[in-house]
Structure 1
Amino acid sequence: MPRSPMSSMSPEFQIHGHQSPRAGGGGGGASQSKELPENMDSLIDLGEAVLPPNPAAKNPNKLTLLPLIFLIYFEVAGGPYGAEPAVQAAGSLYALLGFLIFPFVWSIPESLVTAELATAIPGNGGFVLWADRAFGPFCGSLMGTWKFLSGVINSAAFPVLCADYLARVEPSVASGTPRYATVAGMNLALSFLNYTGLTIVGYTAVALGLVSLAPFVLMTAIAVPRVRPARWLTRGRGNNWRLFFNTLFWNLNFWDNASTMAGEVERPERTFPTALLSAGLMTSLGYLLPLMAGTGALDAPQDAWGNGFFADIAGSIAGRWLKYWIEVGAVLSAIGLYEAQLSSSAFQLLGMANLRLLPRIFASRAKWFLTPWAGILASSLITLAISFMSFNDIINSANFLYSLGMLMEFAAFLWLRKNEPNLKRPYRVPMRLPGLVLLCLVPSAFLIFVMAIASWKVFAICGGLTALGIAVYYMMAVCKSRGCLAFIDEEETNGEIGTGDA
């Protein structure tokens, strides 16, 4: 998780084929050309919502390339906010090397895996569909638990961050009832924006991205005459490697999150690889260039590089006007991060409902906007509840769960490549199986390292949440067998996922 302007908390606390019988989730690929049935009795109109088979197939407002680029960008980064502690932890040299090398170690492998699987199985639900197809519904459900909880917990930080920045202008927002009202109001307003449609969210992300990145482009350009390359070679003293690696991980993960919305993307087999490549370049340069400008133009002490220090750098280089712009950009970036993560979480629940892992209410869509209103509501309520809690061990736990999910995702990728070689893959990682094992091995080793340095509280929390996820899976199975809850019929799901079958 982010990748984000987490100036209110230290990243040290943030580590954060053929159609299978089960492959039935949300609408992408082949399902996009599938007509809705003439017998409209197969749709259940609740006035507020329309239930599947697949209303996305009739949705004219598909995500195109540009909005998808910025949604992926906000899933991952949202700007260089939050990168400063890497300098604080290990000095200029290691920070620059970290943001130069780490994308090759982590971001590129995750992006390649996402590109292949999102184009081969381009349905809503993303990684849940991949785990379900490879290992069965139990693993699909467990993947959904890990990734969903990780995402909604991470989302809770962004309204809090907005309140922190607003408190600099209006001190009364810093505590008490005004703060609670601000956080709740931000959650409500941002959730409603998400409800109005993924296309609106996508183009909002474009606008937010351009406005929040612009001050860093200006800062970098203005800093060029003052840059002294020798400053880039400064090594830190008393280096905090745990903080350093946590910062890199926090700022460069979540490349697979947009896959949960693949059923809403126009021509995902072409759009996803291009969007991932473009967002990857934008993210890498968006971190590296401001860090080069800041470390090269100023002789700031190592311990000054805390969260939010980019605003001070901008003020020293160009004046207070740019400092204020970067602070406003932090709020805008937090809004973009919240919107992208909420969309991902809501469409993940929709995909899980289409797989019959959750009740069909989560597959229902708003009548006017075709957004998964139940998923948005559930995600927003959980995020709102967590917004008023202490984040230290919870954020660590969220990223621990994310790491577990990524290990399963890499395993599903390798399993599908080995056992379903004839699965149509519009984008295919150009490697044979031994090379793919090596591609996944390096980031997997890092994931294991991230989990190994977690505290005993994190192990306890994650163990409890995993047990809860397992209990939910078996409870859903009992509900299906006894008819306690309404689930999508199995025949409704057949053929709805674009599976890339030959």
Structure 2
Amino acid sequence: MSRRCQEKTSALQKLACNARDAQHYAVSSFKPSVAAAIVIANMIGTGVFTSLGFQLVEIQSAPVLLALWAVGGLAALCGAMSYAELGAALPRSGGEYNFLSRIFHPAAGFISGWVSATVGFAAPTALAAMTFGSYLSAVFPALSPLWLATGLIIVLTVAHSTSHRGSGGTQRWLTWLKILLILGFSVLALLFNDSGQQTAFVPAAGDGALLFSGAFAVSLIYVNYAYSGWNAATYISGELERPQRNLPTVLIASTSVVCLAYLLLNFVFLAVAPMEAMVGRVEVGYVAAGYAFGDAGAAIMGILLALLLVSTVSAMILAGPRVLQSIGEDFAVFRPLARVNGDGIPVTAIVVQATVALAFLWTASFDRILVFSGATMALNTFFTVLGLFVLRWRQPALPRPFRVVLYPLPPLIFLAITGWTLLYIVLQRPAEALISAGIVASGALFYWLSATLSRRVPSGEPPAPA
């Protein structure tokens, strides 16, 4: 066959493949409401219900604490806007793996995917499951928190290994339940609080200095962890209806909703419970509920918090495996990770991520997982947002259905806040910083091994269903 005939045949095959993919996604894809549910559920999880106690160790000012959450929300919103432009310009599932592979080098993408798979989703899944088990066992002491957490991960892994309709429907109603419970708790706590707590929300002398202190920067470690997940929709953009149009709206709107929810929750915590009662405590929601409603209310809050965390674990089990799937599509040695069922669900990748999460659950401590995973994820997003500048410079003519408003201000704000936080992690928590560096180094090693053993295949050519 002549070269011209081969090129013609290849073009026809590509057109047929694209038509087949379009037909598949028209029938079996995630709606924008599901993508929004994934972002919201990924963000509202362990961090907001546990980190205030750590922040109160160094900061005893309610206005500064609320400013802390506002700054974290600003960083998340600026990051979401940056990711929205990247996702619209480079639409494919995989999040940072997809972006960094195409902007910098496949090695950068692989390391990012490695980080996302081992830390970005598996570790927070374990944290959220741990918190779920702890809150529920506090109400029902006969139940084992470890086995409750294990059971939750297994049940949700099975639920998300079926179909897009079943997976998306599960996520959507769990997220709506989470929003309703947060609003219900906040309104009832403010209306029926009889603790007599009088927190001052007016700035006082010295608050300005606190805003630029090392304590504020260290506290941002926990706040940024609580906001992590604003990028979750980019992990399933290849399965999102009209991603170039819908992805920016999903990312920006969902992040804004969560920012408002975080400010409301922390205002309620500070308004109903004395600061000294929450200092150093992990279960700040439980403490606040006790002051607002009494012992019975605290028990109810424990159950509600456990229910809230179900959707968090669910969202991470749904979104994270898409990174592993993308790696499997691009590296032959990891090809089993790209295997999908008849509905396009990457079952193998879902099971692998759940297994890693269970390993974290059974072997590591809560605080250590939180800090090193927060640092590693921040590093991941830092280089991805930096890639926005590189992509605009290298490919100015690339179609961009969405462009960052007020560019370059939002990505610069994100880089400044995130870089400040990373600097203080290195200075204040060097052990966790070394663990993060070790994870990145291991990703580089695995890339070298994979590149050596694998035959690189073109991006965007998914294997046939299992």
Fold shared, TM-score > 0.5 on shorter chain: yes
- What amino acid does structure 1 have at the position aligned with 2:107? F
Give how far 1:157 is off: 1.4
Q: Does 1:74 align with 2:44?
A: no
Assess if the C-alpha contact under 8 Å between 1:149 and 1:398 holds in 2.
Answer: no
Which segments of structure 1 move beyond 4 Å, counting only runs of 4 or more? 30-33, 224-230, 234-243, 297-300, 302-305, 318-322
**1:246–1:365: structure 2 CA closer, same or farther, 3 Å change rule?**
same
Assess if the C-alpha contact under 8 Å between 2:45 and 2:226 holds in 1.
Answer: no
Write out per-residue CA displacement over residues 285-311 of structure 1, whole angstroms, 9 at most, x where no aligned residue.
211123223433555536457332323
Q: Which runs of 5+ in 2 are unaligned?
A: 1-13
Q: Which runs of 5+ in 1 are unaligned?
A: 1-29, 37-53, 482-486, 495-502
**1:31–1:363: structure 2 CA closer, same or farther, 3 Å change rule?**
farther
Assess if the C-alpha contact under 8 Å between 1:90 and 1:239 holds in 2.
Answer: no
- Matched with 2:88 is 119
Higher alpha-carbon deviation: 158-167 or 334-343: 158-167
Of the three residues 410, 413, 424, the one matched with 2:388 is 413
Q: Does 1:158 align with 2:123?
A: no
- Matched with 1:84 is 52
Separation in 2, partners of 1:316, 1:439: 38
- What amino acid does structure 2 have at the position aligned with 1:156? A
- Matched with 2:172 is 206
Assess if the C-alpha contact under 8 Å between 1:220 and 1:293 holds in 2.
Answer: yes
**1:234–1:88: structure 2 CA closer, same or farther, 3 Å change rule?**
farther
- Matched with 1:274 is 249
Q: Give the percent of matched residue pairs that are identical in Structure 1 and Structure 2.
A: 16
**1:377–1:57: structure 2 CA closer, same or farther, 3 Å change rule?**
same
Q: Does 1:142 align with 2:142?
A: no
Assess if the C-alpha contact under 8 Å between 1:397 and 1:458 holds in 2.
Answer: yes
**TM-score normalised by the chain length of structure 1:** 0.77
Higher alpha-carbon deviation: 106-115 or 288-297: 288-297
Separation in 1, partners of 2:111, 2:434: 17
**1:468–1:441: structure 2 CA closer, same or farther, 3 Å change rule?**
closer
Give how far 1:266 is off: 0.7
- What amino acid does structure 2 have at the position aligned with 1:250? Y
Give how far 1:279 is off: 1.3
Assess if the C-alpha contact under 8 Å between 1:118 and 1:262 holds in 2.
Answer: yes
- Matched with 1:65 is 32
- Matched with 1:340 is 315
How is 1:19-418 mapped onto 2 (pairs within 5 angstroms)? 34-36=18-20, 57-58=24-25, 60-78=27-45, 80-85=48-53, 86-87=55-56, 89-91=58-60, 92-104=62-74, 106-151=75-120, 152-174=122-144, 180-222=146-188, 223=190, 231-233=200-202, 241=216, 244-299=219-274, 301=276, 303=278, 306-318=281-293, 322-356=297-331, 359-367=334-342, 369-391=343-365, 392-418=367-393
- What amino acid does structure 2 have at the position aligned with 1:81? F
**1:366–1:429: structure 2 CA closer, same or farther, 3 Å change rule?**
same
How is 1:424-463 mapped onto 2 (pairs within 5 angstroms)? 424-432=399-407, 435=409, 438-453=412-427, 455-463=429-437
Give how far 1:108 is off: 1.6
Write out per-residue CA displacement over residues 114-166 of structure 1, whole angstroms, 9 at most, x where no aligned residue.
11111111111122111111112111111212222222122111222222123
- Equivalenced residues, count: 435
Write out per-residue CA displacement over residues 60-117 of structure 1, whole angstroms, 9 at most, x where no aligned residue.
232112221121011212484235324454231211121223322x112111111111
Give how far 1:421 is off: 1.1
Higher alpha-carbon deviation: 74-83 or 124-133: 74-83
- Matched with 1:51 is none
- What amino acid does structure 1 have at the position aligned with 2:152? M
Give how far 1:239 is off: 10
Write out per-residue CA displacement over residues 413-435 of structure 1, whole angstroms, 9 at most, x where no aligned residue.
111011111111111113455x4
Give how far 1:213 is off: 3.2
**1:219–1:429: structure 2 CA closer, same or farther, 3 Å change rule?**
same
Give how far 1:453 is off: 3.2
Separation in 2, partners of 1:492, 1:276: 23
Write out per-residue CA displacement over residues 201-236 of structure 1, whole angstroms, 9 at most, x where no aligned residue.
333233223333334323433415879986223779
Assess if the C-alpha contact under 8 Å between 1:78 and 1:333 holds in 2.
Answer: yes
Separation in 2, partners of 1:344, 1:230: 39
Separation in 2, partners of 1:142, 1:31: 32
- Matched with 2:458 is 490
- What amino acid does structure 1 have at the position aligned with 2:70? L
Separation in 1, partners of 2:176, 2:234: 23
Name the structure with the higher helix share: 2
Separation in 2, partners of 1:338, 1:98: 25
